[in-house]
Amino acid sequence: MSEYSNRIRKEFAAGDMIRDAGLKTPDDVIRYDNIRYGGDTVFNLLDVYRPKNAADRVLPVIMIVHGGAWVYGDKDVYQFYAMSLAQRGFAVVNFSYRLAPEVKFPAPIEDICSVCRWMAGEHRKYGLDLNNVFAAGDSAGGHLLALFASFLTNKEYRELLRSTYGGSCFGIEDTETGNSMRLKAIALNCGKYDLTRTDNELEMKELFSDLMPEGGTDKEITSVSPLRFVTEAFPPVFLMTCAGDFLKDQAPLMARVLVEKNVPFVFRFYSSADEDLKHVFHCDLRLKSAARCNDDECSFFMELI
Q: What are 137-147's pLDDT values in tens digits?
A: 999 999 999 99
Mean of the pLDDT values across residues 157-175? 83
What secondary structure does DSSP assign to 202-250, as a single string? HHHHHHHHHHSTTSS-HHHHHHT-GGGG--TTSPPEEEEEETB-TTTTH
Distance CA 13, CA 24 (A): 18
Predicted confidence at residue 15, as pLDDT, reads 97
Predicted confidence at residue 198, as pLDDT, reads 67
Q: Taking the model in full, what pTM does it have? A: 0.96
- pLDDT digits 0-9 by tens, 102-136: 999 999 999 999 999 999 999 999 999 999 999 99
Long-range contacts (CB closer than 8 Å, 24 or more residues apart) made by 266-274: 266/237, 266/238, 266/239, 266/300, 267/239, 267/240, 268/238, 268/239, 268/240, 268/293, 268/296, 269/240, 269/241, 269/242, 269/243, 270/240, 270/241, 270/242, 270/243, 271/242, 271/243, 272/243
Quickly state the pLDDT bin for 166 (edges 50, 70, 90).
Answer: confident
Predicted confidence at residue 199, as pLDDT, reads 61
CATH number at residue 46: 3.40.50.1820
Range of the domain at 270: 3-302
Number of domains, the chain: 1
Predicted confidence at residue 167, as pLDDT, reads 67
